[in-house]
């Protein structure tokens, strides 16, 4: 006479899989937090020394002042991205504020124009809509930058005209 016992452990296996996934996400969050803090320190140094340079420029050095302002704006955007990484690592909510979409897109286009190849012409055709939306400005700016960067990648070989329209 044969006798056997069967035990369904599929639920236990699924639970173990979920626990492992949570542990991976916690490790990733810890890593992201460490990287974000390191980047914050680097950006802080760049911003600090750029502010010192700016304080030594004369009013007549307008072209140089514009370049310094671009560096400072880029550092501020970088700091915003670092804050997003920190939000991810801490699992906190984003900071939504009232803002105008036009302004965020305009700033992103201005920043990307300084960094793309000269074989690509950027034309701005944006409605100056004063509609206010509730959004995280850093996330919205990142979306606009990603769209512009994707357009640049698509045109960098043969050139072209990037015409972001809002």
- Looking from the CA of 11 toward its CB, the CA atoms found within 13 Å total 2
Q: What is the pLDDT of residue 86?
A: 75
Shared-domain flag, residues 118 and 152: yes
pLDDT digits (tens, 9 = 90+) for 74-123: 888 888 888 777 776 665 556 788 888 888 777 777 777 766 656 677 77
Of 110, 109, 114, nearest to 151 by C-alpha is: 109
Q: CA gyration radius for the chain?
A: 24
Residue 97 per-residue DSSP state: E
Q: What is the pLDDT of residue 96?
A: 83
Shared-domain flag, residues 80 and 108: no
The answer to the question of residue 10 being in a domain is no
Structure tokens belonging to residue 65: 């002042």
The answer to the question of residue 5 being in a domain is no
52, 75, 93: which is the final residue of a domain? Answer: 93
Mind giving me the DSSP string for 119-162?
TEEE--B------EEEE-HHHHHHHHHHHHHHHHHHHTTT-EEE
Residue 4 has pLDDT above 60, yes or no: yes
% of the chain at pLDDT higher than 90: 0
Count of domains for the chain = 2
Residue 50 per-residue DSSP state: H
Section 132-145 average pLDDT: 80
pLDDT grade for 137, boundaries at 50, 70 and 90: confident
Shared-domain flag, residues 68 and 108: no
Q: What is the pLDDT of residue 166?
A: 45
The answer to the question of residue 81 being in a domain is yes
The domain in which residue 85 lies consists of: 16-93
Q: What pTM, to 2 d.p., does this model score?
A: 0.47
Backbone angles phi, psi at 43, to 5 degrees: -60, -35
Dist CA 8 CA 79 (whole Å): 51
pLDDT digits (tens, 9 = 90+) for 15-48: 889 888 888 888 887 888 888 888 888 888 888 8
The answer to the question of residue 1 being in a domain is no
Residue-level length of the chain: 166
Q: What is the pLDDT of residue 91?
A: 55
Shared-domain flag, residues 104 and 144: yes
Shared-domain flag, residues 38 and 105: no
The answer to the question of residue 159 being in a domain is yes
């Amino acid at each position: 006479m044969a006798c056997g016992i069967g035990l369904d452990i599929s639920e236990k296996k699924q639970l173990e899989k979920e626990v492992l996934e949570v542990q991976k996400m916690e490790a990733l969050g810890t890593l992201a937090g460490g990287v974000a803090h390191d980047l914050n320190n680097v950006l802080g140094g760049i911003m600090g020394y750029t502010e010192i340079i700016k304080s030594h420029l004369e009013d007549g050095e307008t072209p140089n002042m514009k370049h310094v302002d671009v560096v400072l704006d880029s550092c501020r955007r970088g700091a915003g991205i670092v804050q997003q990484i920190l939000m991810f690592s801490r699992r906190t909510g984003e900071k939504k504020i009232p803002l105008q979409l036009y302004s965020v897109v305009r700033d992103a286009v201005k920043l990307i124009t300084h960094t793309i190849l000269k074989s690509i012409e950027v034309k701005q055709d944006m409605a100056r809509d004063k509609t206010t939306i509730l959004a995280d400005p850093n996330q919205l700016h990142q979306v606009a930058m990603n769209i512009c960067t994707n357009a640049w990648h698509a045109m960098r070989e043969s050139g072209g005209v990037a015409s972001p329209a809002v």
